[in-house]
Amino acid sequence: KNQVEQSPQSLIILEGKNCTLQCNYTVSPFSNLRWYKQDTGRGPVSLTIMTFSENTKSNGRYTATLDADTKQSSLHITASQLSDSASYICVVSAGSGTASKLTFGTGTRLQVTL
Amino acid sequence: DAGVIQSPRHEVTEMGQEVTLRCKPISGHDYLFWYRQTMMRGLELLIYFNNNVPIDDSGMPEDRFSAKMPNASFSTLKIQPSEPRDSAVYFCASRKQVIGELFFGEGSRLTVL
C-alpha cells in the first residue's frame, strides 16, 4: 500500500530560525514528489516538484531534497518568517499517464513566532 | 485566470439535509478532482474527472455521495442525506495535463450538526 509519512506533526520555531521537515514514502512506481504549502483556511499551493533524477530544488527560502534510494525527502526553510506559518504537505505521485495516483501525507503544521 | 472557484466557502446544515458543493475549474484544464480533508486523515481523493467523464470514484465513501460534471466549467459534489461525520473541508482541484501541477480551490468547509 502506498504511504507517505511526515514528521514532525507540528513544529514551533522563532522567526529567523531555520527548520527542516521530513517526508518518507513507500510509493511505487515513483513518478514525482511535490511539497505544498497550505495556509489556514486556504487551499494547498505547490512549492516544488521533484522527479527521480533531481536531488535538490530551491524556491526562494525553500529548498527541497530527494533521496530516491532511501525514499526520503526534506523541505528546508531558511530564515523563517511569520508568513511561513502554515501546514506543509508532501505528495508523491505513483505511476504514469492516466494511471498516475497521488498519495498525500497528513502534513507538518509549522508555527513561526516572534 | 481567477483560479479554481468553489462555493459555498462555508456551509452549516443539519443532519439529514442535502448538501451541494460547487466548483469551477481553471479554463482549459481537462482534469478535475474532488478531495476531502480532515485533521485525522489529511487529504483524500473522492473522485476525479477527465474531459467531464468520471474516471475513478473509488474514494467516494458511500452512496450518499455523488458527483457530476455536466460541462467543462462546472462540477458539483452532492451529499444526501448528510451526516455529522461528513463534516470536513472539501477541495476541488484541476490540472491541465495528466501529470501536470494540481491547482486547488479555497475549499468548502462543511459542518453537519
Q: How confident is the model at residue A97 (pLDDT cuts 50, 70, 90)?
A: low
Mutate to test the interface with B, among A90, A102, A103, A109 (most CBs of B within 10 A): A102
What are B48-105's pLDDT values in tens digits? Answer: 999 999 999 989 988 999 999 999 999 999 999 999 999 999 999 999 987 678 999 9
Q: How far apart are the first and last CA of chain B?
A: 36
Q: Please check the confidence at residue A98 and state whether its pLDDT lies above 90.
A: no
Of the candidates B71, B89, B66, B59, which has an alpha carbon nearest to the alpha carbon of residue B25? B71
Residues of B in contact with A107 (CB under 8 A): 42
Q: Please check the confidence at residue A99 and state whether its pLDDT lies above 60.
A: no
CA A68 → CA A17, B56, B95, distances in Å? Answer: 28, 28, 25
- Give residue for cell 512549492: A47
Q: Do A107 and B42 touch (CB under 8 A)?
A: yes
Residues of B in contact with A46 (CB under 8 A): 101-102
- Give residue for cell 527542516: A20
The pLDDT of A78-97, averaged and rounded, is 92
Are B19 and B8 spatial neighbours (Cβ–Cβ below 8 Å)?
Answer: no
- Give residue for cell 513561526: A112
CA B49 → CA A69, A74, B21, distances in Å? Answer: 33, 31, 16
Q: Please check the confidence at residue B108 and state whether its pLDDT lies above 60.
A: yes
CA–CA distance, A31 with B92 (Å, rounded to integer)? 23
The pLDDT of A100-104, averaged and rounded, is 84
The pLDDT assigned to A110 comes to 98
Q: Do B102 and A96 touch (CB under 8 A)?
A: no
The pLDDT of B7-20, averaged and rounded, is 97
The pLDDT assigned to B1 comes to 64
Q: How far is A102 from chain B (nearest CA, A)?
A: 9
What's the angle, vertex CA A45, arms to CA A35 and CA B56, rounded to 5? Answer: 80
Partners of B42 in the β-ladder: B38
Name the residue among B42, B50, B55 with its Cβ closest to that of A104.
B42
Task: Say how far residue B100 (Cα) sits from the centre of its chain.
Answer: 19
The pLDDT of A35-60, averaged and rounded, is 93
What does DSSP assign to residue B26?
Answer: P
Find the closest chain B residue to A97 by CA distance.
B98
CA–CA distance, A77 with A90 (Å, rounded to integer)? 14
Q: B-side interface with A, Cβ within 8 Å?
A: 4, 41-45, 50, 55, 91, 93, 98-99, 101-102, 104-107
Residue ranges with strand state E in A8-107: 10-14, 19-26, 30-38, 45-51, 56-59, 62-67, 72-77, 86-94, 101-104
